[in-house]
Amino acid sequence: MTGRRHGRAKYGGLRRFLCGVCLLLAVALAGRAVPVHAQNGPVAEAGFATLIADRLFIDGGVRLVAEGNVEALFGTTRLQARRVSYDRTTGALQIDGPLVLNDGRDVIMLADAAQLSDNLQRGLIRSARVVFDEQLQLAAATVERLDARFSEMTAVVASSCEICAERPTPLWEIRARRVVHDEQEKQVHFENAQFRLFGLPVLYVPRLRVPDPRLERATGFLSPSFSVNTGHRLGLRAPYFIVLSADRDLTVTPFVASRGTRALELRYRQAFATGQLELGGLVAQDKIRPGVTRAMGYAFGEFALGQGYMLRFNLIQPSDQRVLEDYGRDQPRLTSEVTVERIRRDTREQVQLLQFRSLRLADVNSQLPNQVGRAALTHRRDVPGLGGVAALRFEAEILRRGQAHAGTEALPGLIATRPRQLGRLSLDLDWRRDAVLPVGLLGAVGLNLGLDHVRLSQTDGAFPVSQSRVTPQLMAELRWPFVRAAPSGARHVVAPVAQVIWARDRLPGLPHEASRMPELDEGNLFALNRFPGQDQRELGLRGNMGVSWTRLDPDGWSSTVTLGRSWRARDLGQFSAQTPLAGRQSDWVLAGSLDTADGLSLSNRSHFTSDMQLTRTAFELDWATDAYSLSTSYMRIRANPFEARAATASEWSFEGTRHLSDFWTGRVGWRYDIAQSRAAHAMVGLNYQNECLRMEMGLERQFASATRPTSRTSFGLNLDILGIGGNPSRNRRACNAL
């Protein structure tokens, strides 16, 4: 006896639902055949089951059969199949495929047939394929669901690579006789595992455990990396990641090389409710410095202290000048800092401790001001009645070096001796008011009063031990912007600016510490002080003039050009002769930029003398598209002994990437020292990435220079297996049969 129904029914629990369907079918067969629709019945409760099928009938009074586009939902589990048979006496489900079982937790199972319990949590599935998070696939002869946590598989092939009809062999795969998946811990356990590349076995592992793609943190080995370089020759790094808790982990990375290098790197991380902490270091013995234990340690952290205060620290300390370079952490200078800071709408408070260490062979660290302490308070507010904005800045600074330094880089009127310790207290009072004047003029007036007290130690009589200074400054400024709209829709803005600043002419006769490299650019052309630090203040009567032109095009590109210069009533000798600000007339500064809608960016800044001789220039071009990206720059700057630059520097650099195909990307880069007519650095690399594997290869050459006595060549190879753990795979292609 059969009957045809199309509809949906909902009752509490799968067994109660099926029994209710049987009752409804019995009533229908008695002559009251009425379609059953879910929207006409009561709202389903959480955990209730839903069954949809083209055809339902009862076989033998105890077995309910659903056929044709069968879909069953039980909790978070969803089943799709060709035919489902339910035996009311045993509570067993016989499912004929092809079937798709989705448990709602990013796990999909495809199979030919299955025998499951009424809650779909236990049973046997034949010829199955399990897909985790649409990445890792496991094909098995059988899958037995033991309970809601464990599933056991036999004759398993696992891979995250794309498998198509034209590419039946995955790039990599793991074959195993038996696999157990732990749903609670999200781990996949392999027994008698064999790792294959291009179908060829390369490694046998009796027991192997890997996290499924949904697990972002799991204890185990990370992807290894290989390297070949001049110092260590052939080397291998095999990092091991240890999960200590939900908020802590430790990474232990042994490094061994064929030249006798034995090193251990450590990294500890911990997350807090108010911040994060990272500690790490390196301990090594090698043939580069035989018989010496080399080491490096660092600490990084960021914490919220409450009341808006933030604590940040970044500390690093190497055992020698070349340990970072020899172990792939090359940095010319190291800065360690501890900072406490609070920033509010009108106030900034900061306390900072700094330590500088140079790794350049020509630098003597005992002569550098490598210990600095600084505290600063800045407050801004509107001035009622008078108008404008007033600012107050208080700064205290102390710096120390290992020994006093007597060099030859003196400024006119200043001797070259630099003391061992300098302490400074500074107070700045600023006021500025802007106004719109007739015919579109923009005017501004301002004043600054700077109070400084400086104390020195071990100056060998070159400077007074204690000195105070008062520096008043007055400023007046006019701007006259012109705006024009072209017929094409482009907008042109031309803004000439004239500024006059008065300050006292009296030089304090203090050493230059933080202000040894002043610059002139479009950003500080109209600033009251062009020195980078507050230990020096720009003095004298001077005028600044400039003009800028900006073009905004409706097609999405823009360009800007700025030209300006400074004039002084009298040259006080505050700036060394090789800087753009030296003399009564500064160099002309010409700066321009161009940004287009298709990713092209150009910028240039150049300095010219009055007779149009180029003294400094810096050019940069960046272009990024879907197919390639490139970045190139050129720099030239004259020698300046006062800035510790003994020779003119001129350098050209280039970096570029090109997508050779959907999977291959080429990289190339170099730096060429034009002043010395020799290469400084060269690099070429090749990257491969598909949906299951990422490979990076690179060859790098560091050439000898004044700061590096020997050349160095290195080759690196990194392999990452994608689709396992927190290493997601790339999007799959259309040939995926899933």
Ordered DSSP codes for 403-451: S-EE-S-PPTTS--EE-SEEEEEEEEEEEEEEEEPGGG-EEEEEEEEEE
CA separation for the pair 578, 616 (Å, rounded): 10
- So what's the pLDDT on residue 167? 74
State phi, psi for 725 to the nearest 5 degrees: 65, -145
642-656 pLDDT, tens digit each: 777 878 889 999 999
Are 70 and 82 spatial neighbours (Cβ–Cβ below 8 Å)? yes
Length of the chain measured in residues: 738
pLDDT class of 86 with cuts at 50, 70, 90: confident
* Structure tokens, 662: 């959907």
Which CA distances in Å does 378 have to 284, 342, 427, 450? 46, 11, 10, 14
CB 636 within 8 A of CB 619: no
Between 334 and 377, where is the model more confident?
377
User: In this structure, what DSSP letter does residue 660 have?
Assistant: -
Q: What is the mean pLDDT of residues 260-285?
A: 95
213 φ/ψ angles, rounded to the nearest 5 degrees: -60, -20
Mean pLDDT value across residues 210-225: 83
The mean pLDDT of 221-230, rounded to a whole number, is 86
Question: What local confidence, expressed as pLDDT, does residue 725 receive?
Answer: 65
Distance, CA of 99 to CA of 109 (rounded, Å)? 8
Distance CA(696)–CA(681), nearest Å, equals 19
Tokens of 103: 């448990």
* pLDDT tier, 11 (very low <50, low <70, confident <90, very high otherwise): very low
Residue of 366, 471, 376 lying closest to 418 (CA atoms): 366
CA gap 449, 164 in Å, rounded: 76
pLDDT for the residue numbered 730: 61
pLDDT of residue 675: 87
pLDDT number for residue 170? 86
Q: Residue 588's pLDDT is what?
A: 96
Q: What is the pLDDT of residue 671?
A: 93
Per-residue pLDDT band at 732 (split at 50, 70, 90): low
pTM (predicted TM-score): 0.78
Check pLDDT > 80 for residue 336: yes
Q: Mapping DSSP to helix (H, G, I), strand (E, B) and coil, where does residue 490 land?
A: coil
pLDDT computed for residue 412 by the predictor:
46
Tokens standing for residue 493? 């803005």
Residues pairing with 590 in the sheet:
563, 606
Q: What is the pLDDT of residue 320?
A: 86
Residue pLDDT, tens place only, 31-43: 222 333 333 333 3
**pLDDT (mean) for 561-576:** 93
Residue 706's pLDDT is 61
Q: Note the pLDDT of residue 168.
A: 80
Instruction: Calculate Rg over the CA atoms of the chain.
Output: 37
- The pLDDT of residue 491 is 93
When the pLDDT of each residue in the chain is averaged and rounded to a whole number, the result is 84
- State pLDDT tens for residues 289-305: 998 999 999 999 999 99
Phi, psi (degrees; rounded to nearest 5) at 291:
80, 5
Which pLDDT belongs to residue 417? 62
Q: Give 661's contacts (C-beta < 8 A, 6+ positions apart).
A: none
Alpha-carbon gap, residue 716 to 735, rounded angstroms: 33
Residue 662: helix, strand or coil by DSSP?
A: coil
DSSP-derived secondary structure letter, 643: G
Are 700 and 714 spatial neighbours (Cβ–Cβ below 8 Å)? yes
pLDDT bucket at 91, cuts 50 / 70 / 90: confident
- The pLDDT assigned to 492 comes to 94
Q: Give dist(CA 434, CA 657) in Å, integer.
A: 48
Assign residue 306 a region: left if phi > 0, alpha if psi is -120 to 50, beta otherwise?
Answer: left
| Pairwise CA distance, residues 503 & 416, whole Å | 25
pLDDT of residue 340: 97
Using one digit for the tens of pLDDT, what is the confidence trace for 380-396? 999 998 899 999 999 99
| 513-563 pLDDT tens trace | 778 888 899 999 999 999 988 888 999 999 999 999 999 999 889 999 999
489/348: higher pLDDT: 348
Q: What is the pLDDT of residues 351-376, one digit of tens each?
A: 999 998 887 777 777 777 888 999 99
Question: Helix, strand or coil for residue 23?
Answer: helix
Task: Kindly list the domain boundaries of the chain, sorted by start residue.
Answer: 7-221
DSSP tag of 640: B
In tens, the pLDDT along 675-700 reads 888 898 999 999 998 888 888 999 99
For residues 608 and 591, the answer to whether their CB atoms sit within 8 Å is no
